[in-house]
Homo-oligomer: A and B are copies of this chain.
Amino acid sequence: MVVGGGFGGLRAAKGLRRAAVDVTLIDRHNHHLFQPLLYQVATGSLSPGEIAPPLRSVLRRQRNVRVLLAEVQEFDLAGRAVRATGPAGEKLECPYDFLVVAAGAANAYFGHEDWRRYAPSLKSIEDALEIRDRVLLAFEAAEVEADEPIRRALLTFVLVGAGPTGVEMAGQIAELARDTLRRDYRAIDTASAHVILVEAGPRVLPAFDERLSARTARSLESLGVDVRTGALVARIDATGVDVDGDGGRGRIDARTVIWTAGVQASPVAADLARQSGVELDRAGRIRVQPDLSLPEHPEVFVVGDMTATGLPGTSPVAMQQGSHTAEMIRLTLAGRERRPFRFRDKGNLATIGRYRAVAEIGRLRFSGFVAWLLWLVVHIAYLIGFANRLLVMLRWFISFVTHGRVERVITRDGS
């Protein structure tokens, strides 16, 4: 039984391909999500289906897998069962011999859950479409707004958190305003849009080498992004953000705020912790055993963003943990000894915009066009499905030639 069809869960299920087991994969969405490109759905470059193939299709040929669209309600570790709710509210009880929990994490609002309505985060397809609507509607509202200060606030976009998602979103919104939309409006100059990247820490892309952080900041600034490090968010409301700290203090009037900071493990982690006595860290993540299992429950594994292992919450970590778990299950079934999980770091990549990216591979550090080409190749290679790769390549080709973005439908009102 695998809970979660993200990078970790999918690798765990696929790793059991040749094992003499029946695998049930439960996810509350019908699709896998290629998170690293989600920001491109949020900014109109890609369509949802291109980065979110149905889990059933991905696992179609693996005959020992059954996929259930259901939401996990609770675990029964003693009774070895998962209780979940199906698409029409059916109560499902699924027994297991081995359990892999890979339910991921959300962004954390640090005790300010009320900020979420003003500053959505970007974790699901629904989030991406909501953010796309907000960004596009801000330009539409600015076009008919007579009041200059309100128009300025409508054309101000704040990204909270300068990890890869914050950096990529800042770059994309800047390009959207400067290139894609430039000639579409009559009353406003979209290129005057103000994109502000607010980061509490001292630098952007904190997981990267310091020199690459500095280059990223310069690159963003050349795109017109206002980078404010050392700036803490003190308050978010319907009309803007209050910042505080060394990097600047005061009010930013902005009608669009996007939250990409913090990590909070899926609430199912708390249920696991309660039943197994395992500890959670401050982000609600589980402190797993070296082999990724739960103490006292060698039949239960936890992988990906839900785990507190000192590793970053990235897709390579989740994928390798998923594969490791599948291998441990195979070893256990064969009566052999398990091994601790070791992460093989293949490097780090982030893109800022057209022809701009930064890369760390082993001791190599580089940026610019070559890093961007590498980013392109790696992301196409890791996308699932030949059709999706073709479509994304064509979309990118069109975007690079025309600066256009095809997916700009606003679906806000149900009419």
Residues of A within 8 A of B (CB): 28-31, 44, 47-50, 52-54, 56-57, 60-61, 66-70, 86-88, 90, 92, 124-126, 129-130, 136-137, 140-141, 143-145, 181, 183-187, 385, 387-388, 390-391, 394-395, 398, 402, 404, 406-411, 413-415
Known contacts A30-B140, A140-B87; is A47 also within 8 Å of B407 by CB?
Answer: yes
30 residue pairs from A and B, CB less than 8 Å apart: A29-B409, A30-B136, A30-B140, A30-B408, A30-B409, A47-B47, A47-B48, A47-B406, A47-B407, A48-B407, A49-B408, A53-B406, A54-B408, A56-B184, A56-B185, A60-B183, A67-B184, A67-B186, A68-B144, A88-B141, A90-B141, A92-B144, A124-B415, A126-B413, A129-B411, A387-B406, A388-B406, A390-B398, A391-B391, A391-B406
A87-B151 Cα distance, complex, nearest whole Å: 13
Would A60 and B408 count as touching, CB distance under 8 A? Answer: no
A144 touches B387 (CB 8 A): no
- Residues from chain B with Cβ under 8 Å of A57 in the complex: 184, 404, 408
Chain B residues with Cβ below 8 Å from A28 are: 413, 415
- A399–B61 alpha-carbon span in the complex (Å): 18
The answer to whether A49 and B409 have CB atoms under 8 Å apart is yes
| Bound Cα distance A145, B88 (Å) | 9
Which chain B residues border A87 with CB–CB below 8 Å? 137, 140-141, 144
Q: Which residues of B are found within 8 Å of A408, using beta-carbon distances?
A: 30-31, 49, 53-54, 57
Give CA–CA (A145, B52) in the complex, Å.
25
> Which single residue of chain B is at the shortest CB-CB distance from A387?
B398
A410 and B86 within 8 A (CB): no
Partner of A49, one of B30, B44, B52, B137: B44
Given the complex, which residues of B lie within 8 Å of A402, measured CB to CB? 387
Q: Are B31 and A409 in contact (CB under 8 A)?
A: yes
The answer to whether A144 and B90 have CB atoms under 8 Å apart is yes
Residues of chain B within 8 A of A44, CB atoms compared: 49
Indicate the member of A137, A143, A183 with the most B CB atoms within 10 Å. A143
The 8 Å CB contact of A125, one of B68, B181, B411, is: B411
16 new A-B contacts, CB < 8 A, other than A31-B410, A70-B144, are: A30-B136, A31-B408, A31-B409, A47-B407, A49-B407, A49-B409, A54-B408, A60-B184, A69-B143, A86-B140, A86-B141, A126-B414, A387-B402, A387-B406, A391-B394, A391-B406
